[in-house]
């Protein structure tokens, strides 16, 4: 199957009421783990490159790795997505590279830190939609700001999305998908206390309200890593120093999907899995020096996270929903 527009994958998910995982990718091993995991659980997948990832890989390398995924795994519906594009220019670059979806994160200014005014967000997002839609490319926007900072990107402050602004935003921009701020944050440090299923963790009422107002809009939950405790423990066991921290639990993801979330963004969990594996190999085999000795098990560890019933979220929810 050729690459598909993200909208097609999300429309299908909306029809059947499941959520689709979005995984960030930076290198070949990560891309392979994503495709192997998606194949194992029979899941469509959204593979996303951030601005930082494209810079790290000099764009062309990552683009060709992502294209290789489509060629090598023709049975998996795959969308190539630009994550957190901060300008029209970066979105245009992704379109030129052959991406099937772009995120224009107009919630922040081009520095990726300072919040942007609503009207300016509308204007810049609309411009990207005008470039993308005639080519069949999906556009994700963002209203409200998430917490956490990744690679210097992010305001660090949470401003929850205002559902009343969403309707106007969608009508004016015609975006296909929207990242909503409901209390999640990027990175490993989301919650200091273990989330309690009997207490409200995220602002699900915002999701429900937006779904009522804009039933055809695909909502996106960024900052959805679950921060698996056993992986954090392994990092710390082998010399790491990650303080007590918790991610978004499966039950909260499921609540989100039931309320109308269609895309669930995960990056940190894969980063943690690689780090835990490399630390262990370095500890267990101090004389080893062939990078394949630690990159190969790192790839397996990422795949396990992607497939895992207890740690991975949308895939599991989808498997349950579709009885796969
Ligand atoms: O949402 C941000 C992603 O985790 C990408 O992070 O900008 O460090 O590549 P990055
Ligand atoms: P995490 O940091 O929770 O993995 O979120 C990633 C993300 O939202 C990418 O856009
Ligand atoms: Zn994000």
> Which ligand 2 atom is at minimum distance from the Cα of 270?
4
- Provide φ and ψ at 302, rounded to 5°: -65, -40
Q: What is the pLDDT of residue 99?
A: 97
- Residue whose Cα lies nearest atom 8 of ligand 1: it is 151
Give the position of tokens 């429309």: 11
Report residue 155's pLDDT band, with 50, 70 and 90 as the boundaries: low
Contact residues for 182 (Cβ-Cβ < 8 A; gap 6+): 160, 161, 202, 203, 204, 206, 207, 221, 256
Report residue 150's pLDDT band, with 50, 70 and 90 as the boundaries: low
Q: Is the pLDDT assigned to residue 13 strictly greater than 50? A: yes
Is 85 near ligand 2, meaning CB less than 6 Å away? no
Burial class (CB within 10 angstroms; exposed 0-12, middle 13-18, buried 19+) of 134: exposed
Mean pLDDT value of segment 55-79: 95
Report residue 156's pLDDT band, with 50, 70 and 90 as the boundaries: low
Is 105 near ligand 2, meaning CB less than 6 Å away? no
pLDDT in tens, 191-227: 999 999 999 999 999 999 999 999 999 999 999 999 9
| Mutational pocket test of ligand 2: of 25, 26, 268, the residue with most ligand atoms within 8 Å of the beta carbon | 268
User: Comparing C-alpha atoms, which of 313, 196, 308 is closest to residue 257?
Assistant: 313
Q: What is the pLDDT of residue 191?
A: 96
Residues at Cβ < 5 Å from ligand 3 ion: 222
Report residue 82's pLDDT band, with 50, 70 and 90 as the boundaries: very high
Is 140 near ligand 2, meaning CB less than 6 Å away? no
Please name every residue paired with 46 in a beta bridge, in sequence order, or none if there are none: 22, 79
Q: Is the pLDDT assigned to residue 112 strictly greater than 70? A: yes
């Amino acid at each position: 199957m050729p690459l598909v527009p993200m909208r097609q994958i999300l429309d299908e998910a909306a029809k059947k009421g499941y959520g689709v995982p979005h995984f960030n990718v930076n290198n070949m091993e990560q891309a392979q783990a994503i495709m192997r995991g998606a194949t194992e659980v029979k899941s469509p997948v959204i593979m996303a490159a951030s601005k930082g990832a494209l810079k790290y890989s000099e764009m062309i390398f990552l683009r060709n790795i992502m294209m290789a995924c489509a060629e090598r795994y023709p049975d998996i519906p795959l969308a190539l997505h630009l994550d957190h594009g901060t300008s029209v220019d970066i979105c245009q670059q992704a379109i030129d590279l052959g991406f099937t979806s772009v995120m224009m994160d107009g919630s922040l200014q081009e520095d990726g830190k300072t919040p942007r005014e609503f009207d300016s967000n509308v204007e810049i997002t609309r411009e990207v939609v005008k470039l993308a839609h005639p080519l069949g490319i999906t556009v994700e926007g963002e209203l409200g700001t998430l917490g956490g900072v990744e690679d210097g990107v992010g305001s660090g402050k949470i401003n929850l999305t205002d559902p009343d602004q969403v309707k106007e935003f969608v009508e004016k921009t015609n975006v296909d998908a929207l990242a909503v701020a409901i209390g999640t944050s990027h990175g490993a440090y989301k919650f200091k206390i273990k989330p309690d299923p009997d207490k409200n963790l995220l602002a699900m009422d915002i999701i429900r309200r937006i779904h009522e107002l804009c039933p055809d809009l695909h909502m996106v939950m960024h900052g959805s890593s679950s921060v698996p405790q056993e992986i954090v423990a392994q990092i710390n066991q082998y010399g790491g120093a990650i303080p007590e921290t918790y991610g978004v639990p499966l039950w909260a993801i499921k609540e989100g999907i039931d309320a109308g979330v269609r895309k669930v963004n995960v990056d940190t969990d894969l980063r943690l899995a690689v780090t835990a594996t490399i630390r262990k190999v370095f500890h267990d085999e101090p004389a080893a020096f062939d990078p394949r000795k630690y990159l190969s098990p790192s790839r397996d560890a990422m795949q396990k996270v992607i497939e895992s019933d207890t740690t991975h979220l949308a895939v599991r929810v989808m498997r349950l929903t579709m009885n796969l």
